[in-house]
Chain A
Amino acid sequence: MLAQQLINGLSLGAVYALVAVAFTVSIGVLNFLNFSIPALFMISGMVSLGLMKSGFPWMLAVALGIATSIVASLVVERFTFKWMTKSGHLVPLVSSLAFLILFENLAIICFGSDLLPFPRLFGGGDGRLGGVVIGLPQILSLLIAVAAVALLAYVLKATALGRSVRAISESPQTATILGVQTGRIVLSVYALAGLLAGLAGILFAVNYAQVSWVMGEEVGLKGISAMILGGMGNIWGAVIGGLLIGLLEVLTIAYVSSDAVNLIVYGTLILVLVLKPTGLFGDRLAARERF
């Protein structure tokens, strides 16, 4: 029973982890809490379902769904970060929230406001290991999430693009002086947020076999919590934070009650913020300089 809950918690946590990494990259590089990420999460699930219904093979539909999330994220960039230099630091926050409302209501218009069933892409792939049911989607989402983050960590650490991104996150002015093309790098950070959120949306849709226009909100809030728990700007911290919150949520539902989930998850979060504001794995000095 406990082993089963751990598996469920980890696979839910993998989705939170991807969303948390999307948030943490935005905040670490751009110093901006991008509230359109929950919408990007929803877009990939909804669009790929729509494409599958109109006869596209599932692989193509999923790829196009994620591509739509990326394009949507680039649209958000056009109206948020582009204007940030000459405005107050809260303006992009307002605009990104407006995009959340915009995308969610567009989804209602296109797909209706009901909960829609999402096909089980790996149907019948449940394995058993000593009485514990392990769904193929569950294992896959955990693996895909970890692989995606590992790839991201490699890109940030070892490539020219990664060096530019890290330079901008240290100091945009200095990076510009040294010849980093800030505009292009910012675009790629938004594209990355779209990719991660879109991927997470697909994994969630496959795991829970359902999508709806509102699916991004709850996951988005848990993703933000995971980011704080792990320490802002730290991608592996966000992954661990996501897995911890997934476990905490599933264990609370199993052993306390489903009504107590938010109380326990967000209560833990406040405790962490009051006792150690930089999160479990945050670097205090870096955080103070950057924020």
Chain B
Amino acid sequence: MSGYVETLLVLLMINIIAAYAAYLPLAVGQLNLSIAGFMAIGAYGSAWLAASYGLPLWASIPLGMTFAGLIGLAVAVPVLRTDGIYLSLATFALGEVITSAIINTPALGGAAGMPVTGYVGIIPIAITCAVLVAIMAYVNHSRAHVILTTVEKDPNVAAMFGVDVRWTKIACFSLGAALAGLSGALLGHHLNFIEAQRFSILASIYVVLYVLLGGTQTFIGPILGAAVFTLLPEALRASGEWRYVAFAALIIVVMVWRPNGLITRETILRKGA
């Protein structure tokens, strides 16, 4: 495998994990715009543990992930008091606060970035990604999916059937944050260098776009969306400076053509019948 193909595949798998981080809150109707911020927490957390305490990667990466999840939980409780567009905007501000806090912390390298010890190759990343996809495929056909869909479509009905709507939302937000932390930690240990600028608000927006383009109704949507966003700009490389223009135009056309994302539940049901 050439270095180019390998890098592209690793990036694709990390983007798929990040896409699930945005997918979980979206499944209950929350737009989390701080995915990149939680990725930064996971990446810097794991890098710091590995560098300062000499922790092996099998310990530091899950710890970085847990750390991101716990911060997600701590933030979710007050922030989820707000709803709808207010929640999205609060997470947007949160992402900016996280990255600028890192830039202002000399111990984490500040704006200059931070070298990361310990290398994660393509194989462990592929296994992690495959396990996650398998879990998501299972959830997609389980009772949990029904609960999440009900909470999204009509919280009152969900509450009537005994679902704790508030804690379902908090759980989805925090688990999403943990997944974002995981993808950030893997990215940091693969590149062996991280800088806060990489985890900007635009990076968060892109991750959310993966899911909205792919479709929020099934577990396949985030995979497809991440694949389109990672591979299409590469495929359009031949068109030179026009490639991002073509890319953006394609997204606009796709959203007009399939407003609920490329893959919907209907697509799958129709195939199955």
Q: Are A228 and B259 in contact (CB under 8 A)?
A: no
Q: Are A94 and B100 in contact (CB under 8 A)?
A: no
**Chain B binding surface SS class:** helix
Looking at the assembled complex, report how far the CB atom of A272 sits from the nearest CB atom of chain B, in whole angstroms. 9
Tell me if B59 is interfacial: C-beta within 8 Å of chain A. no
Distance between Cα atoms of A97 and B203 in the complex (Å): 12
Q: Are A102 and B248 in contact (CB under 8 A)?
A: yes
Distance between Cα atoms of A192 and B201 in the complex (Å): 26
Given A94-B212, A102-B249: A88 and B101 interface contact (C-beta under 8 Å): no
Given A99-B248, A259-B111: A90 and B212 interface contact (C-beta under 8 Å): yes
Q: Are A27 and B85 in contact (CB under 8 A)?
A: yes
B-side contacts of A265, CB under 8 Å: 96
Q: Are A217 and B202 in contact (CB under 8 A)?
A: yes
Given A259-B111, A274-B90: A97 and B100 interface contact (C-beta under 8 Å): no
Looking at the assembled complex, report how far the CB atom of A22 sits from the nearest CB atom of chain B, in whole angstroms. 16
Looking at the assembled complex, report how far the CB atom of B40 sits from the nearest CB atom of chain A, in whole angstroms. 13
Distance between Cα atoms of A206 and B244 in the complex (Å): 29
A-side contacts of B192, CB under 8 Å: none
A-side contacts of B202, CB under 8 Å: 217
Number of A-B contacts (CB under 8 A): 128
Distance between Cα atoms of A94 and B90 in the complex (Å): 19
B-side contacts of A267, CB under 8 Å: 93, 97
A-contact bits for B92-124, CB 8 A (1 contact / 0 none): 111011011101100000110000000000000
Q: Are A91 and B259 in contact (CB under 8 A)?
A: yes
Given A91-B255, A274-B90: A221 and B81 interface contact (C-beta under 8 Å): no
B-contact bits for A58-83, CB 8 A (1 contact / 0 none): 00000000000000000000010001
**Number of A residues, CB within 8 Å of B:** 45
A-side contacts of B96, CB under 8 Å: 221, 262, 265-266
Tell me if B74 is interfacial: C-beta within 8 Å of chain A. no
Q: Which residue of B lies closest to A102 (CB)?
A: B248
A-side contacts of B255, CB under 8 Å: 79, 83, 87, 91, 94-95, 98
Q: Which residue of B lies closest to A227 (CB)?
A: B89
Distance between Cα atoms of A270 and B37 in the complex (Å): 14
Distance between Cα atoms of A71 and B180 in the complex (Å): 39
Tell me if A135 is interfacial: C-beta within 8 Å of chain B. no
Q: Are B259 and A274 in contact (CB under 8 A)?
A: no
B-contact bits for A247-270, CB 8 A (1 contact / 0 none): 000000000010111110111011
Q: Are A101 and B244 in contact (CB under 8 A)?
A: yes
Looking at the assembled complex, report how far the CB atom of B55 sits from the nearest CB atom of chain A, in whole angstroms. 28
Looking at the assembled complex, report how far the CB atom of A80 sits from the nearest CB atom of chain B, in whole angstroms. 9
Q: Which residue of A lies closest to B247 (CB)?
A: A101
Distance between Cα atoms of A99 and B209 in the complex (Å): 13
B-side contacts of A266, CB under 8 Å: 93-94, 96-97, 100
Q: Are B209 and A94 in contact (CB under 8 A)?
A: yes
Q: Are B252 and A98 in contact (CB under 8 A)?
A: yes
B-side contacts of A261, CB under 8 Å: 100
Nearest 10 interchain pairs by C-beta: A87-B259, A102-B248, A262-B100, A266-B96, A98-B251, A101-B248, A105-B244, A263-B100, A269-B93, A266-B93
Beyond A33-B85, A98-B249, 4 extra complex contacts between A and B, CB < 8 Å: A106-B245, A266-B94, A277-B82, A291-B86
- Chain B residues close to A by CB (< 8 Å): 31, 78-79, 81-86, 88-90, 92-94, 96-97, 99-101, 103-104, 110-111, 201-202, 205, 209, 212-213, 216, 241-242, 244-245, 247-249, 251-252, 255-256, 259-260
